[in-house]
Structure 1
Amino acid sequence: MKLQRLLGITMLLLSRKRIGAQELADRFEVSLRTIYRDIEAINDAGVPVASFAGMDGGYEIMDEFRIERQIVTLDDLSSIVTALKGMQSTLQDQQLDHLLAKINALFAKSEQHRIEEAGEQLIIGMSPWTRVDTDKDKLAELRQAAKNRNVVWLTYLSPEGEAEERAVEPIGLAWKGSAWYLYAYCRLRKDFRTFKLSRIRKLRVDMEVFPRRKERLVDLDAKWGRWKMGPYITMVLRFHPRVRVRVEECFGPEQMTVEEDGSLLVRSELPIDSWLYGLLLSYGPDVHVLEPKFLAEEISGQARRIAELYGQFP
């Protein structure tokens, strides 16, 4: 256990500029005294860990230090290659090609033979089924703009299809669910926003360089969650048995109960917005909204308007 903790601390220090003793103690669920002893042991093993006092104090490994290939197992390298191949399938980045070549060069010939014999057990696909090639161009331009801190002008569509010009300061890109999103500071809204790439109709990278902001991509990703969506409501829905697979995929079996007639009763909490209306309408007559009443009335009204559009009602 101690050896695993020492290795974990070392790898964490290698991946971070500086980290405090209390954070290490919390992460590994040990006392501060244990962390102090662990740092001494890591230093004694030849890993140069420097300590810093003060408000921004903590531990960090000297910049010149690097780990040897032997500490990374064949399975570790294989996992890295699999993840990079998944990214490369969408990004088509020449730097990723070079990185893959470097990592593959770390495999011994005997290991390469073992990998070829075993074959692929995992493929990570980061491209939606309906992907268009123009998304690759958007990804490349926005990644470069975020790297160089260039202001980007966007023509962006709202969910209702209204186009709006935005000047944004790109922070980075994120793959969420089944789509790419740009994380950026919007000068129009004067706040950070997400922009779905499929809704970006035009973009132009400006020569203006914006000052680096303190918010990082990982910070924004951790911050954005439920509060970025509309208000949540608790729903009670009854589904026909024939859509059970879809219901399980969408809501999860833990939110379902099967009634005596085979109907599926779902109690769930979701944000109330146009996405929810579209989801429920996609089930057609196979879903009955029991609660809340206003949601049932909204779905009924939208269904009636659809029927009127096709001349089913006078």
Structure 2
Amino acid sequence: MKLERLMAITILLLNRKRVQAQELANRLEVSLRTVYRDLETLSMSGIPIVSYSGNEGGFEIMESFRLDRQMLSFDELHALFTALRGLQSTQAMKRHNMDRLLEKVGALVSKAEREHMADTDQVAIDLTPWTSGAASGALYEALHSAVQDKKLIRFAYTDGNGEETERRVEPQMLVLKGYTWYLHGYCLKRDDYRLFRFSRIRDLAILPDTFRRRSLPLAEVNERWEAAWRQESVDLVLRFTGKAVVAAMDQFDPADMERQPDGSLIVRTRHYYKDFESMIGFLLSFQTNLTIIGPARIAEAVRQSALDVAGLYEDEERGGRP
């Protein structure tokens, strides 16, 4: 406990110009007497702590002193700091743990470099999903705890076809892909590794049974991920107009795009999909601002799906008539 306090005091003093003893006592939840003893211990260990009296008094570390950051350059530290702030927008670490880690990294930067870092701060990473709530945070905490403690879990899961099954899983790791969290685990029902999307997990229960973690290299996890989303492919030629032009620019590779004199956009791309219905739904989302030039079977499938939707509301209209 004392070692943690000494480290916390050192980091605070390295990151702040001057800190009063009472503030240190409040933050560390100890007495003023303990703070003074800790400051004396740090001074005796070679850290140059200077005290100032008066209303603006307090303790600070000599300007010339900083922790040894070994082989990290300023640019590398800047990149590390930016990446950590990006992780701060996720649930990958508890907020107070992430704040503490940022303080430790900040302690490796001199005052002059810190000011330069603020002037050159040109990149921000925000991985926060557009929609999230307390329920998703609670699910993350529960799954993270199960992964750490190697506890078997049970939950109801709805797959891409809408089928719900009960799963018993050995949780291996949590994966953030884009804005979406997944659980990677060994499914005892399928007797193989599976990826489970958080939003499809229901009725999670952490069981008392523990398991021995299976060895699966991260590279193989990524290969399985790619295979799951690249089960089928089709070469598409699409023409976008109106507002769909901007939407297409968000979805497709610029190398596959060709702007037309009339303002429309032609996209020639190989589209990978996991199931046919999801791909058709994706194309339908562009509504009347998309023309499928080819292949004809995809155009026909989209046409038929649109007719099915229209027929659904026609049936409702007929049913409502006297």
Superposition TM-score, scaled by structure 1 size: 0.70
Secondary structure (helix, strand or coil) at the match of 1:95 reads helix
Stretch moving more, 133-142 or 91-100: 91-100
Counterpart for residue 309 of structure 1: 312
CA distance in 2, matches of 1:180, 1:80: 22
The secondary structure found in structure 1 opposite 2:90 is helix
Question: Residue 152 of structure 1 contacts residue 204 of structure 1 at CA under 8 Å; is this kept in 2?
Answer: yes
Deviations 1:105-124 (A, max 9, x none): 222233333334x1642221
Q: Is the 8 A contact 2:68 2:108 kept in 1?
A: no
Q: Distance in 2 between matches of 1:228 and 1:167?
A: 23
- The worse-fitting range, judged by mean Cα deviation, of 134-143 and 154-163 is 154-163
C-alpha distance in 2 between matches for 1:269 and 1:96 = 40
For the Cα contact (< 8 Å) 1:82–1:124, is it kept in 2? yes
Deviation at 1:178, TM superposition (A): 2.1
- Picking from 281, 292, 301, the partner of 1:278 is 281
Structure 1 distance, partners of 2:97, 2:217, is: 22
Q: What are the within-5 Å matches in structure 2 for residues 46-65 of structure 1? A: none
Counterparts in 2 of 1:309 and 1:225: CA distance versus 1, 3 Å: same
- Who is 1:101 aligned against? 103
Equivalent in the alignment of 1:216 = 217
- Per the TM alignment, residue 260 of structure 1 is displaced from its structure 2 partner at its CA by 5.6
* Seq. identity, %: 33
Larger Rg: 2
The Cα offsets for residues 229-251 of structure 1, whole Å up to 9 and x where unpaired, read as 43111122222254222222212
Q: Which amino acid aligns with 1:253?
A: P
Residue correspondence of structure 1 range 16-95 to structure 2 within 5 A: 69-91=69-91, 92-93=93-94, 94-95=96-97
Question: Cα offset for 1:228?
Answer: 4.2
| Structure 2 CA distance for aligned equivalents of residues 267 and 119 of structure 1 | 39
The aligned amino acid for 1:86 is: G
How far 1:311 moved relative to its partner?
1.7
Counterpart contact for 1:171–1:217, Cα < 8 Å: no
SS state of the match for residue 249, structure 1?
helix
RMSD of aligned C-alpha atoms? Answer: 2.5
Indicate conservation of the 8 Å contact 1:244/1:264, yes or no: yes
> In 2, Cα distance between the equivalents of 1:227 and 1:139?
23
SS state at 1:232 partner? strand
Q: Matches of residues 218-233 of structure 1 in structure 2 within 5 Å?
A: 218-233=219-234
Further displaced range: 301-310 or 222-231: 222-231
Sort the Cα spacing of 1:126 and 1:218 in 2 relative to 1 into closer, same or farther, 3 A. farther
Q: Distance in 1 between matches of 2:76 and 2:303?
A: 53
Give the C-alpha shift of residue 305 in structure 1: 1.2
In terms of mean alpha carbon deviation, does 253-262 or 70-79 score higher?
A: 253-262
> Could you say which residue in structure 1 is the equivalent of 2:157?
156
Q: Distance in 2 between matches of 1:260 and 1:84?
A: 44
Task: String of CA shifts for 1:64-103, please: whole Å, max 9, x gaps.
Answer: xxx9514112222222222222222221514333322222
1:36 is matched with none
1:118-159 C-alpha deviation (Å, 9 max, x unpaired): 164222112111122222222222222222221121222223
Deviation readout 1:215-238 (Å, 9 max, x if unpaired): 034431244214544311112222
| Corresponding position of 1:63 | none
Alignment partner of 1:311: what SS?
helix
Q: Quick one: distance in 2 between partners of 1:271 and 1:113?
A: 46
Q: Which amino acid aligns with 2:165?
A: E
Corresponding residue SS for 2:167: strand
Give the whole-Å Cα distance in 1 for the aligned partners of 2:296 and 2:227.
23
Amino acid of the structure 1 residue aligned with 2:271: L
Selected match of 2:291 from 288, 292, 304: 288
Residue 88 of structure 1 aligns with an amino acid whose one-letter code is Q
8 Å CA contact 2:157–2:166 kept in 1: the answer is yes
1:262 Cα deviation after fit = 4.4
Q: CA deviation at 1:259?
A: 4.6
Are residues 218 and 206 of structure 1, via their aligned partners in 2, closer, same or farther at CA, if it must alter by over 3 Å?
farther
**Could you tell me which amino acid in structure 2 is paired with residue 111 of structure 1?**
E
8 Å CA contact 2:256, 2:268 repeated in 1: yes
Amino acid at match of 2:237: V
1:190-227 superposed Cα distances (whole Å, 9 cap, x missing partner): 11111111222231222211122110344312442145
2: distance between equivalents of 1:263 and 1:243? Answer: 9
Aligned equivalents of 1:132, 1:282: Cα separation in 2:
26
